[in-house]
């Protein structure tokens, strides 16, 4: 296996591009893909301040690293969700990355802990509200991401969604014809109605490439999946697409970028889907909360944009705070029974 650029020994093959790369040229390829997508979708300009939501996983840590490499002024944001040992380890990875890779290049970390600040955590919110954990989790993250970006005066909120993530979300939205979400599934959502600009500069890179990036750069990351996401629809959609990709390399990229080119404009943007965010394929997690369509007002509790008197996050906090914390184990999905 020879590097496509220098003919030196290759370390990775990228079948959808029919290319192998050595370590140096693979890292360069990753930077180029991020630069290309930022330019293509006018995501950010030099000199702007970016806030990167970092989970401790490979994608968001690689992204923060890539943006700093490319010379962007980028800080990190970590939200402590209170998901037992999983969150403890995720926080540890984020802090280690900040000290070793971000701080020396001027990047600092903002931390928000759900338990400390709001007296809630994801397992307890899920149990008390009888919601799917990913729904309480997604709602909290979106709210806190938006708030941190606005409060900190950042030009954009950046997330580490990669090509596999976006293709799987698209697949789920198409399977259930979630037209409001389809209209918003762009890698760049401009700032509007009190929400910050949101960008996803990793959409040209795959999960596997991000894992390779971290290994080659010496970045440690949280390798475990969230224990509460096990068996969710999003992971099932990813598995289905992986099978198709195995057969036809490039299929995922063609599916997602073809949609952006040919179809996204056909689905009108829907402001109501914004507070709810994008569907991740879980029942109830598509944010189809009680937000009616129409112009947005401000939450009476926290002042963030909403269609209701009180936003979905403040409602979640009001219902959950004061309850004894529920351990993760009690919220895990029961294993599905085999169909006979």
Binding stretches for ligand AMP (CB under 6 A): 53-55, 59-60, 77-79, 81, 141, 159-161, 165
Under the criterion CB under 6 A, does residue 226 sit at the interface with ligand FES?
yes
Nearer to ligand FES, 228 or 299 (CB): 228
CB atoms within 10 A of CB 155: 18
Q: Which two tokens stand for residue 287?
A: 């944010």
Shortest separation between residue 145's beta carbon and Zn ion, angstroms: 14
Residue nearest to ligand AMP (CB): 160
Mask for 53-92, x = binds ligand FES (CB under 6 A): ------------------------------x---------
Given ligand AMP, Zn ion, ligand FES, none, residue 5, with its beta carbon under 5 to 8 Å by kind, binds: Zn ion
Window contacting ligand FES (CB under 6 A); options: 56-64, 225-233, 313-321, 324-332: 225-233
Parallel, antiparallel or unpaired: strands 12-14 and 19-21: antiparallel
CA–CA distance, 235 with 34 (Å, rounded to integer): 24
Report the site for Zn ion in 281-340 (rule: CB under 5 A).
299, 301-302, 311, 314
Nearer to ligand FES, 86 or 255 (CB): 86
CB atoms within 10 A of CB 236: 14
Shortest separation between residue 303's beta carbon and Zn ion, angstroms: 7
Backbone angles phi, psi at 237, to 5 degrees: -65, -40
Rounded to a whole number of angstroms, the distance between the first and last alpha carbons of the chain is 47
CA–CA distance, 302 with 41 (Å, rounded to integer): 32
Shortest separation between residue 225's beta carbon and ligand FES, angstroms: 8
Given Zn ion, ligand AMP, ligand FES, none, residue 79, with its beta carbon under 5 to 8 Å by kind, binds: ligand AMP
Given ligand FES, Zn ion, ligand AMP, none, residue 74, with its beta carbon under 5 to 8 Å by kind, binds: none
Under the criterion CB under 6 A, does residue 133 sit at the interface with ligand FES?
yes
DSSP state for residue 195 in the 8-state scheme: B
Nearer to Zn ion, 22 or 331 (CB): 22
Under the criterion CB under 6 A, does residue 137 sit at the interface with ligand FES?
yes
Given Zn ion, ligand AMP, ligand FES, none, residue 301, with its beta carbon under 5 to 8 Å by kind, binds: Zn ion
Q: Which two tokens stand for residue 249?
A: 């390399």
Backbone angles phi, psi at 190, to 5 degrees: -70, 160
Q: Which residues contact 288 (CB under 8 A, 6 or more apart)?
A: 276
Under the criterion CB under 5 A, does residue 6 sit at the interface with Zn ion?
yes
* CA 146 and chain centroid, separation: 13
- Applying CB under 5 A, which of residues 14, 20, 25, 114 lies at the interface with Zn ion? 25
Q: Where do the H-state alpha helices sit in 78-157? A: 84-97, 114-118, 122-129, 133-151
Shortest separation between residue 283's beta carbon and ligand FES, angstroms: 14
Under the criterion CB under 6 A, does residue 228 sit at the interface with ligand FES?
yes
Given ligand AMP, ligand FES, Zn ion, none, residue 12, with its beta carbon under 5 to 8 Å by kind, binds: none
CA–CA distance, 116 with 123 (Å, rounded to integer): 15
73 forms bridges with which residues in the sheet? 49
The b-or-e profile of 139-154 (16+ CB within 10 A means b, else e) is bbbbbbbbbbbbeeeb
Q: Which residues contact 80 (CB under 8 A, 6 or more apart)?
A: 87, 91, 111, 112, 113, 114, 115, 116
E-assigned strand segments in 7-81: 12-14, 19-21, 49-53, 73-80
- Applying CB under 6 A, which of residues 134, 148, 163, 314 lies at the interface with ligand FES? 134
Nearer to ligand FES, 72 or 237 (CB): 237
Nearer to ligand FES, 169 or 228 (CB): 228
Chain contacts with ligand FES (rule: CB under 6 A): 83, 122, 133-134, 137, 226, 228-229
């Amino acid at each position: 296996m020879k590097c496509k650029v220098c003919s030196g020994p290759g370390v990775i093959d990228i079948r959808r591009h029919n290319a192998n790369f050595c370590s140096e040229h693979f890292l360069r390829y990753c930077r180029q893909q991020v630069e290309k997508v930022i330019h293509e979708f006018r995501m950010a300009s030099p000199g702007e301040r970016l806030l990167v939501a970092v989970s401790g996983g490979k994608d968001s840590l690689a992204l923060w690293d890539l943006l700093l490499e490319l010379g962007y002024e980028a800080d990190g944001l970590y939200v402590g969700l209170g998901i037992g040992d999983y969150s403890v380890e995720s926080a540890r990875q984020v802090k280690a990355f900040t000290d070793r890779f971000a701080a020396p290049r001027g990047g600092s970390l903002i931390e928000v802990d759900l338990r400390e600040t709001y007296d809630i955590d994801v397992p307890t919110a899920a149990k008390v509200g009888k919601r799917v954990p990913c729904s309480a989790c997604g709602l909290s993250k979106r709210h806190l991401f938006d708030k941190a970006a606005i409060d900190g005066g950042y030009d954009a909120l950046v997330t580490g969604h990669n090509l596999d993530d976006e293709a799987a979300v698209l697949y789920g939205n198409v399977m259930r014809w979630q037209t409001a979400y389809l209209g918003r599934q762009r890698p760049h959502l401009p700032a509007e109605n009190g929400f910050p600009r949101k960008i996803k500069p990793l959409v040209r890179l795959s999960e596997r490439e991000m894992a390779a990036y971290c290994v080659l750069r010496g970045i440690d990351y949280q390798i475990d999946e969230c224990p509460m996401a096990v068996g969710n629809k999003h992971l099932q959609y990813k598995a289905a697409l992986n099978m198709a990709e195995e057969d036809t390399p490039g299929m995922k990229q063609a599916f997602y970028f073809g949609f952006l080119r040919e179809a996204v404009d056909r689905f009108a943007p829907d402001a109501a889907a914004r507070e709810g965010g994008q569907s991740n394929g879980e029942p109830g997690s598509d944010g189809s909360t009680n937000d009616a369509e129409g112009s947005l007002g401000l939450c009476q509790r926290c002042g963030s944009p909403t269609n209701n008197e009180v936003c979905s996050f403040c409602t979640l906090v009001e219902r959950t705070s004061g309850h004894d914390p529920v351990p993760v184990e009690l919220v895990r999905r029961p294993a599905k029974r085999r169909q006979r």
